[in-house]
Structure 1
Amino acid sequence: MESFTVEFKSHFGRIYVNIKHPSLHALKYYDVTGLNEFSIAILEALTAHSYYYRSYLEMEKIFKVYVYPDGDLPIVHDGPCKDIYSTEGRFLHEMERGVGKFRTNDPNAAHVYFLPFSVTWMVKYLYTPSSYDITPLTQFVSDYVRVVSMRYPFWNRTHGADHFMLACHDWGPHASKGNPFLYNTSIRVLCNANTSEGFNPLKDVSLPEIHLYGGEVSPKLLSLPPENAPRRYLAFFAGGMHGPIRPILLQHWKNRDKDILVNEYLPKGIDYYSIMLSSKFCLCPSGFEVASPRIVESIYAECVPVILSNYYVLPFSDVLQWEAFSVQVDVSDIPRLKEILSAIPESKYKKLKQGVRAVRRHFTLNQPAKRFDVFHMILHSIWLRRLNIKLIS
């Protein structure tokens, strides 16, 4: 095929997709004003909702992913489906074993190519505990990319620009350094979406961290109290004192205020999720790394997330307007948390809570996957970055 260019321009209500590719429409124009398929709460939580909706529909119609068949279990074609890194395994399993329409067995029909290795399983099977030597991870990634680049023409055609990896483990960014093009050019879907450590939101995708204890969402987060039920606490956090932000939070608020419940560990007999469900706001400070499963847990509990982080690109922030369902507080303002949260009018709080309820579907793992759920949101984020790529073939 001759040289072709893929361009994507969003003008908040219009989409131009100028694509020359056998299975993509050439030159699409949408006037997408006036769509009303979503509720008001969902519209307010979406950035340029009509652009998102049309883009999503186009993705559903034509987007194809080729999953490289190379590599052996357990490090390739498998991943964790429970506990803190479950997003990694659940996406991989859905992509490889699900009944969805996005996977193609014809690499020439694909728009993107998936490198289906699991960084979490690399850490489990290749890393020597307490060695702090991640060379086995970067070497595995280097070898895998070398194999697919020698067996297939697609990596070399674009230097990996239309390829993606997905990792929820904290060391995902470090593992991607095994190949310089993977790190600098490919689409990296990462929970550890830290711009101070090389995450580039123009090409990389922020992956939500979802903690599934035993592989399932806690039943308490599936049976929520009535929407108008009173919430006893203004804000809540419980967690270990690690990373640069949590010590500041605990220093100022641990056992300091009856309205802001902050503990390193909850006293025996007090249930974590019960307190979440009894709180208006849930504090979500970064730990050693920027991502926190508390953000998604807060959304499940309809407890408005309060983001306390530096350099973190929030998941799906190219289409979700986080200001409509969360509060972002600068780390320097942690001493003023009560003042800031108490100053939010009740009417504004109710809108934030409605926004939380509206976006829950986008952070939900379903098996099999359902429209607009987290699996589809991840694919849509990859789709948007694929459309931003200019390829020479």
Structure 2
Amino acid sequence: MSSSSPGARATWYVHELYFTSIRVLCNANTSEFFNPRKDALIPNINLWTGDITGLTGGMTPSNPTILAFFAGQLHGRIRPALFQHWKDKDEDIHVYEKVLEGYEVASPRIVEAIYAECVPVLISQHYVLPFSDVLNWDAFSVQVSFSEIPNLKKILMGTPEDKYVRMHEGVKEVQRHFLVNDPPKRYDIFHMILHSIWLRRLNFQIYG
């Protein structure tokens, strides 16, 4: 089990370990040796106080105050383009370079958006979405390609209201799969991680 990119890289360099084990990683970047057929993902969650109650709750579809929000350090290929086109360029899209948490795409951002009942807007390359074996991310998120970054506002504003309402309801439905419970409850994040490992076991014979 590993929690970061170095762990994924380190196990890749030990090829016997890489090809004969199911790795459970926090970084699901396929460009950094994450193999979705045999590796399972632990979604990043930041529990600031250690309290696992009251994590969810957010805006209703009728009263959003911000069209899109992003905060993160400048690196990689996608973020420079996002900053170039949208930082301080539009009052409806808030883009900030400073953030208290998260350096890579493998950060708590997606889970925090789901907790806050915000529809995730996903701009990524080579990234495997959490529990994508069983969750239909198209039903509760907007996925934008790198080339479409200049048209981000047009894409978001062009989403029909009824579709947005359905996606918002979808976010609320999948919240339970990202909740931390003590003791664990059926279909919460612990259950989903174990299910992901079980699914990889079915594929593991290919690599044995």
TM-score (norm 1): 0.49
Q: Could you say which residue in structure 2 is the equivalent of 1:192? A: 27
C-alpha contact 1:210 1:293 (8 A) present in aligned 2: yes
Give CA deviations for 1:222-243 in whole Å, capped at 9, x if unaligned.
Answer: 4435x35501111111222233
Give the counterpart of 1:204 among 23, 33, 39: 39
- Tell me the residue number matched to 2:50: 215
In 1: Cα distance, 2:49 partner to 2:76 partner = 26
Distance 2:194 2:161 in 1: 36
What does residue 45 of structure 1 align with? none
Larger radius of gyration: 1
Matched residue SS, 1:215: coil
What is aligned with 1:261?
94
In structure 1, distance between residues paired with 2:186 and 2:146? 36
Using the alignment, how far apart are the partners of 1:339 and 1:288 within structure 2? 27
Count residues with an aligned counterpart.
206
Asked if 2 retains the 8 angstrom alpha-carbon contact of 1:209 and 1:291, the reply is yes
Residues 1:384 and 2:189 are matched in the alignment: no
Structure 1 residues 230-239 or 175-184, which shifts more? 175-184
Which residue in 1 is equivalent to 2:129? 314
| Deviation of the 1:178 alpha carbon | 5.7
Q: Aligned pair 1:247/2:80, yes or no?
A: yes
Partner of 1:364: 179
Alignment check: 8 A CA contact 1:205 1:381 kept: yes
Within 1, Cα distance between the matches of 2:18 and 2:72? 32
For structure 2, list consecutive stretches of 5 or more residues without a partner in the other structure: none
The aligned runs of 1:26-105 (5 Å cut-off) are none
Structure 1: gaps of 5 or more residues: 1-165, 267-271, 273-286
- Structure 2 distance, partners of 1:334, 1:192, is 23
Q: Which has the higher contact order (CA 8 A, sep 6+)?
A: 2
Q: Which residue of 1 aligns with 2:190?
A: 375
SS in 1 for 2:205: coil
Amino-acid identity (%): 58
- The CA RMSD over aligned residues, in Å, is 2.3
Shift of 1:319: 0.7
Measure how far apart 1:203 and its partner are: 0.9
1:233 aligned residue: 66
Equivalents in 2 of 1:218, 1:371: separation in Å? 16
Question: In 2 relative to 1, CA 212–243 (structure 1 residues): closer, same or farther, beyond 3 Å?
Answer: farther
Match of 1:176 in 2: 11
Q: Is the Cα contact below 8 Å between 1:304 and 1:325 reproduced in 2?
A: yes
Supply the AA of the counterpart residue of 2:46. Answer: H
Local SS of the residue matching 1:251? helix
Partner Cα separation in structure 2 for residue 205 and residue 327 of structure 1: 23
Contact 2:72 2:103 in 1 (8 A): no
